[in-house]
Structures are given as structure tokens and as C-alpha cells.
Structure 1
Amino acid sequence: EVYEVIESIDERNWESLEEELGDVLLHIAIQARIAEEASKFSLISIIRKLNQKIISRHPNVFNKKKKIDFNWEEQKHAKGERESRLDGVPKKLSALIRAHRLQQKASDAGFDWTNVEPVINKVYEEIKELEAAIKSGSQKNIEEEFGDILFSMVNLSRHLELSSENALRKSNNKFTLRFKKLESETIKKGKKLEDLTLQEMDNIWNKLKA
């Protein structure tokens, strides 16, 4: 449901967004009701804790009496609430988003490059390591090095102030649109994709990109 909300936002479809937000709220209400019947918590307690969290994490916003230099991650680490600076990043996040969050937390602790050039060099370094792994024929090493490339690309997107998740989603949408046009052009010729050679499909694809 959350991904459908994101899709509606990307498409600026307000009618769909209203519906999808309702679906998300339904899930929240159901889970809250189940918890309330089990005497665990309620929808009201969820909202109350959320309010408390927002206020405590942003004293620079809610405390108007004085200017506060506040870093929430440093505070939680200093209080011993988290053993590692990387704690608090859910393992259930999509891999791209989780990589971004992990890298940002490491960066907040000072573990980061100060400019984009070494980040790009790291991407090239990982590609060479993947090429070596492919030559070795070890599927385990290939997977590991491929993962390192993805991780490095996420780091590059972060340094470019981009969201790798958003960038990939837009590329997915672009590919989907062009592929459907490829199918449409093929039908106009009275053929199916399976009737075309790869070169013929590639020629149509390049025309669509122009």
C-alpha cells in the first residue's frame, strides 16, 4: 500500500493518493485495534508517543526560547540507547534505502569522503573487482562484488544528493513506457515482438529514444 502511495505521488494523481492513503490508514487502524483488544496499546497511544517523539527529537523547532544545536543520533548514542551508530536502521527496508540510511549514519559520525571524486573512483574499483570475479567463475564472489557495486552506486547517489530508490524507480517507469511503445510499433507492422530479431527491436528502440 505504501508503494502505491508513492506511485500516486509520483504521478501527481490526487484522487488515487486520497484512496491509497485511506488504504494505509486502514492497515494502521486494524493493527491498532488488534493491539487494543490485546491490551497492548491503542491508536490514541500511538499518536501520543508520536507527538512526544517529534518534540523530543526536534527541540530546535519546538523550543522557541533559545537556539539549540542538537544532533539526535549523537544524543541517542551518548545515552547508550544504541550500541552502534548504525543501529536503528530497519532490516526490512528495501536494500537501496537501507544502504542509503546506513551510509548517512556513518557519514554523520565522520566516516565519509568530503567530495565526489573518490566515490566515483570507488565505483570503478568495484567494477574491476567484479570483472575479476567473473573471470574466476565463482558465483559467490560475483554476487559479493556485484553487491559492492550497488552499495557504491548508492553512495554516489547520496553524494550527488539523489535518492537511488527514486532514480531507479524513474528508470523503471521510463523503460516500461518505451517497451510498451516498442510493442505498439511492432503491432503497427503487423508483427509480434517474437517475430523480430534483436537488431530490429534495437533499431526501433533507438528511434523511440531519439
Structure 2
Amino acid sequence: MRKKVATKKFIELLELVEKLRGPNGCLWDKEQTHASLLPYFLEETYEVMESIDEEDWDTLKEELGDIMLHVALQSQISMENGRFDISDTLGHVNEKLVRRHPHVFGDKNVDASFHAKQNWETAKHEEKGRTSRLDGVPSSLPALLRSQRLQEKASYVGFDWKKIDHVWDKVYEEIDELKRAQESGDSDHIKEEIGDVLFAIVNLSRFLGVPGEDALRQANKKFTHRFQAIEKELKRKGKTFAESSLNEMDGIWNSVKKNN
């Protein structure tokens, strides 16, 4: 069975990490701490996201392995400091999955994925003894992603629009307020209203079932592709940006847009 193979490979990973951190191990690995590994962990996480965006499954396989390496390293460091080991981590997540899925492992019924997630959030809130339903959304998250998570948490307790028309109205309202702020010339007010517009757009994307972070990454990718096409075409013509008009560059952009 694949489970047996996976178990064997996972144990092998733990043993390799233990040796790397051991007396005769790697100097670099032995020097690492929980904090020093954070930049590398974040980088690996973004590489996982990129491989999924690119639908590059071979790379995803490799990048998920790198994430597991970080899990093993962090757990090994913690064990060396007498805090917890990997079995504690696995036991905790297994218990949590059962506890927060009463509709699967208990007698509670749900009729939609929204209600399943609602159960999860309620259980999480009660377990951690939080005072606010918005607690637990890391302030270190990218701002766009954090906006969506805050909106989701508010939605789970009923603080949400019922119809998408209301969401659109809010978007238009915030855009109008931004226009008025721009006319006033007050930079602080403009900044505030731009934030409100972005927050409203994130809410619209959430309401439409589209993760805003994913949509923006796709837009970045599309912009990069089209801009690089302009660079390539100008180079073919032997021209620089300074020698090209905006109309010419826009024409190339529209041609690429039409053909893709």
C-alpha cells in the first residue's frame, strides 16, 4: 500500500534531519533556529503557489517535499529544546480534524461547504477562547489575503450582504468617494479611500467565489506576458522604448491581447 511506503519515507526524512542536526551533521543545518528558517519557509510556500498557478505538477511534487522538510526541521529543533516533537504535531492535527468535522466524524449534518467551514470557525473560536471572531487572522498575511479572511470570518456569523447587487453598490459607492477625495487633493484621504475601494473589490471577488489573491496573481502574470511581448516586438524592429510612442506600444499590447 502507498500508505506504508509513505510512512517509511517519512520516517527516513525524520532520521535524515536528525542526523543533519546531530554531532557529525551539517554545520549550516545545526545553526538553524525556528526564526532563521522563516525566510526560507516563506520562499518555499510561494514556490508551491507558483507551481500550482503554472500547473507544473512535477515541480509541485518537489516543492511540497521542501515544505515537509521544513516541518521536519522545525519539529526537530523544538524536540531538541524540550518543547514538542513531530508526534505531538501529528497528534494535534489529527485530533483537530476530527473535532472540527462533526458532520463527518460525529452526528452533525451540513448541507453546504459554507456550513462546514462555519462549523470549523465556530469550533476554532471556542477552542482557543478568543474574544473576537476576527482573532486569529495573522497581521503578517499579505494585505489582500488578510482582507478576504477577515470578510470570511465576519460572514460566518451573518455579517454579510445577502445579494450581490448590494456588494456592487458598495464598490460604486467607494469609487465615488475616492473620486471626491482625489478632487480634494488630500493625500491621506485619498490613501484611505483607495484602501476602501480595494477592500470592496476583495469582498466582491469573495462573493463571486474567486480568491482575490489568485485573481491578482493571474493579472500580474498576464501583464508580464503582454509587456514582454512589447519588448520583444520593439527589439525585432530595432527600436527602444524611448523611440516608440505610447500608441505604438498600445497597438502591440492590443494585438497580443486579441491573440491570447
TM-score by length of 2: 0.75
Q: CA deviation at 1:183?
A: 1.0
RMSD: 1.7
Equivalent position amino acid for 1:55 in 2:
V
Q: Contact 1:115 / 1:159 at 8 angstroms: preserved in 2?
A: no
CA-CA distance at 1:74 after TM superposition: 3.2
Asked if 1 retains the 8 angstrom alpha-carbon contact of 2:174 and 2:197, the reply is yes
Q: Aligned partners of 1:205 and 1:52: how far apart in 2? A: 53
Residue number in structure 2 paired with 1:167: 215
Q: Distance in 2 between matches of 1:76 and 1:12?
A: 32
- Match for residue 57 of structure 2? 14
Query: How far has the Cα of 1:80 moved from its partner?
Result: 7.6
Shift of 1:26: 2.0
| Structure 2 equivalent of residue 34 of structure 1 | 77
AA at the equivalent of 1:3:
Y
State the Cα deviation string for residues 124-165 of structure 1 (Å, max 9, x = none).
111111111112222211111100000000110111111111
Q: Deviations over 1:33-85 (max 9, x none)?
A: 2111111111221111111111110121123xx34467233345567811111
* SS in structure 1 at match of 2:235: helix
Kindly indicate whether the alpha-carbon contact (under 8 Å) linking 1:97 and 1:165 is maintained by their aligned counterparts in 2.
Answer: yes
2:150 corresponding residue in structure 1 = 102
Q: Aligned partner of 2:82: which letter?
A: S
In structure 1, distance between residues paired with 2:77 and 2:125: 33
User: Secondary structure at the residue paired with 2:72?
Assistant: helix
For structure 2, the 5+ residue unaligned runs are 1-43, 111-115
Q: Provide structure 1 residue ranges, at least 5 long, that are not aligned to the other structure.
A: none
Distance 1:162 1:73 in 2: 20
Q: Which moved more, 1:145-154 or 1:94-103?
A: 94-103
**Change in 2 beyond 3 A, CA 1:79/1:184:** closer
Q: Relative to 1, partners in 2 of residues 1:32 and 1:188: Cα closer, same or farther, differing over 3 Å?
A: same
Q: 2:169 matched to 1:121?
A: yes
**Helix, strand or coil at the partner of 1:193:** coil
- In the alignment, structure 1 residue 198 sits paired with structure 2 residue 246: yes
TM-score where L is the length of structure 1: 0.92
Q: Percent identity?
A: 51
